[in-house]
Amino acid sequence: AQTVTQSQPEMSVQEAETVTLSCTYDTSESDYYLFWYKQPPSRQMILVIRQEAYKQQNATENRFSVNFQKAAKSFSLKISDSQLGDAAMYFCAYRSPEGGSEKLVFGKGTKLTVNP
């Protein structure tokens, strides 16, 4: 079974600075999908960024980028120019390419605080 580990329960960053959130995962599959989700205090979870394992190029979405290291099974999220609205729980998630599988396997999350 796949597992996802987020080793940083809490992180803090100064507004306008850069922060990196860590995620490692365990799988025997060679193809899969990885996601970072953000859950603000209002609770509605939203997708931040996704990465297909077969793509070597790291995904980027505006101020958000990932460092995907397939051999190390590492998938970290970098947030540049941090804003107060970035404060939230961040969850790393894994999804198998198995046909019809909608299952996301989540880590325990990292609580990000942004200090003004």
Partner 1 sequence: ETGVTQSPTHLIKTRGQQVTLRCSSQSGHNTVSWYQQALGQGPQFIFHYYREEENGRGNFPPRFSGLQFPNYSSELNVNALELDDSALYLCASSFRRGPSDEQYFGPGTRLTVT
Task: Kindly state the smallest distance separating residue 114's Cβ from partner 1, in Å.
Answer: 20
Task: Kindly state the smallest distance separating residue 38's Cβ from partner 1, in Å.
Answer: 10
Tokens 């998938």, residue located: 75
Residue 95 CA to residue 30 CA, distance in Å, equals: 12
Residues contacting residue 27 through CB under 8 Å, at least 6 positions apart: 2, 73, 94, 96
Return the DSSP state at 18: -
Task: Kindly state the smallest distance separating residue 87's Cβ from partner 1, in Å.
Answer: 17
Residues that bind partner 1 (CB under 8 A): 4, 6, 32-33, 37, 42-47, 50, 52, 91, 93, 95-98, 100-109
Given the complex with partner 1, which of 45 and 73 has the nearer CB atom?
Answer: 45
